[in-house]
Amino acid sequence: MPEKFTFAYRAVMAVSKPICRQWGRLEVSGLEHMPLEGPVLLAGNHDSYWDPIAIGVAARPRRQIKALAKSTLWKVGVVGKVLDGMGQIPIDRGKGDVGALSRAIEELRAGACIGIFPEGTRSQGRVLRARSGFGRLAEAVPEAQIVCCTVEGTVDIPRFPKRPTLRVRFFPPAGGNLRPGESAGELSARLLEEIRSHAPIEACGRKPRPVRVEAPETPEGTADALARETAGTTSDGHA
């Protein structure tokens, strides 16, 4: 049976709906690719704080998205209680949060839809490499269906009086789920490349800066970073 939406999730989506659908002129496509039930791993691009809200509103007719979010959000009084009520998962950024990963795996195996931004944080006009955490969850729960998602126009929401046009598109990855011999990091990178081919980086802020490329890492630096990573785990908001 399809999962039941929690009261907090329904309430937050109801409050957000007019902003996204009426003011933001939200356009949604490919929603049929979002399964009504069963474990789902949802990967999307991340340029704005509004991305998880827009994606949540777009997916609302079919699924409740339980996303990985930075744990510091839980320190903001009532915000933490609301996030708990929405089923969101707190994660400590850059600390290899095994507990958060374990909870995400448990939720997946119970049939939840887990949302992660492979970039791990808002791009802020930067070209970021994919984190391996998404792939780790796919390895741990191979029966989970992978769905990609692009979200565009959210960076324009705070640029009042300019009216945004939000677009959210769901689609299956062209190369399918985890391939034989493909590593967790390679899966994350493949999905992010496909997502960004449809939704190029958009700089946030009222006065956006030019897109910047993340500095390449040395092999040692890459190894150290991978050792510290978890599931797209440096998300700014929801994954």
Q: Give the burial class of 159: count Cβ atoms within 10 A of its Cβ; 0-12 exposed, 13-18 middle, 19 or more buried.
A: middle
Domain 7-228 listed as CATH 3.60.10.10: no
Give the mean model confidence (pLDDT) for residues 162-169.
Answer: 96
Q: What is the pLDDT of residues 93-102, one digit of tens each?
A: 666 678 888 9
pLDDT value of position 219: 39
pTM: 0.84
Q: What are the boundaries of each domain within the chain? A: 7-228
Phi/psi-derived region of residue 111, left when phi > 0, alpha when psi is between -120 and 50, beta in every other case: left
**With 80 as the cut, is the pLDDT of residue 217 above it?**
no
| Cα(13)–Cα(34) distance, integer angstroms | 17
Crossing angle for the helix pair 184-198 and 133-140, to the nearest 10 degrees: 120
Count other Cβ atoms within 10 Å, centred on residue 198: 13
Q: What is the pLDDT of residues 101-128, one digit of tens each?
A: 899 999 999 999 999 999 988 998 899 9
pLDDT grade for 228, boundaries at 50, 70 and 90? very low
**With 80 as the cut, is the pLDDT of residue 51 above it?**
yes
